[in-house]
Amino acid sequence: MQKQQELYRGKAKTVFHTDDENKLILHFRNDTSAFDGEKIEQLDRKGEVNNKFNHFIMSKLEEAGIKTQVESLISDTESLVKKLDMIPVECVVRNFAAGSMCRRLGVEEGIELSPPTFEFFLKNDALHDPMVNEYHIESFGWADQAQIAEMKRLTFSVNKVLSELFDKGGMLLVDFKLEFGVDVNGDIVLGDEFTPDGCRLWDKETRKKLDKDRFRQGLGSVVESYIEVASRIGLTL
């Protein structure tokens, strides 16, 4: 597979074309961003850790019957993926209240949400990823009703598979964000990444934060925590 010109540079990953028009390369950089790019730092080994973490999680999801963009690991920091036409919304499931939900609704961090709740956000840093509803998504043509239903169904399936996986490692999957795209067959496929950059994970007993909140809140040991999370679910990095 021949890496070709850059297609898109995000805050933490760069996407490259390849000599196969249906395949792309995702390069996970060490850049770590929070607050919509307001705080950016380079963290040693983070690109490698997230690339391998993402591949591991996506393989678990594939085993559970959830289609993902990932094809294979091609280097420490790069993965080969299927090209998708990305839908510009973020799908968030929350099992416990944290982050923007606490600020928005004035609820206490850590309360269990039963049943888990679902939110859509528009992917737009300049607007600080505003929350949107299904009518917005349909009216602006970002996705149709069937695609919206499928994104919700798949996000809840991912929640079930991964809540169990992290539970076995003594962790709570507090919340997470997924992004989907449409493949060449017109099917909705899980794209982007699942890493501790895009979810919240707490130790079940102590509720110690093990995810990107360590970076957002200046708690230190960010990549070390990601490596600990990986080892607790059976991935040695």
Contact status: 35 vs ligand ASP (CB under 6 A): yes
**C-alpha–C-alpha distance, residues 229 and 65, integer Å:** 23
Candidate segments 8-16, 46-54, 169-177, 184-192, binder of ligand TMP by CB under 6 A: 169-177
Spell out the residues 6+ positions from residue 218 whose beta carbon is closer than 8 angstroms to its own.
none
DSSP assignment, residue 68? Answer: B
Contact status: 92 vs ligand TMP (CB under 6 A): yes
Closest residue to bound ligand TMP by CB: 99
Question: Using CB distances below 5 to 8 A depending on partner kind, what does residue 34 bind out of ligand TMP, ligand ASP, none?
Answer: ligand ASP
Asked if 148 and 178 count as a contact pair (C-beta separation under 8 A), the reply is: no
Contact status: 10 vs ligand TMP (CB under 6 A): no
Alpha helix ranges (H) inside 42-144: 46-63, 100-105, 134-139
Chosen residue from 15, 34, 74, 122 binding ligand ASP by CB under 6 A:
34
Chosen residue from 33, 147, 155, 163 binding ligand ASP by CB under 6 A:
33
Q: How far apart are the first and last CA of the chain?
A: 25
Show the CA angle centred on residue 8, arms to residues 7 and 10, nearest 5°.
160
Question: Using CB distances below 5 to 8 A depending on partner kind, what does residue 176 bind out of ligand TMP, ligand ASP, none?
Answer: ligand TMP
> In the complex, which residues of this chain contact ligand TMP (CB under 6 A)?
90, 92, 98-101, 121, 129, 175-177, 198-200
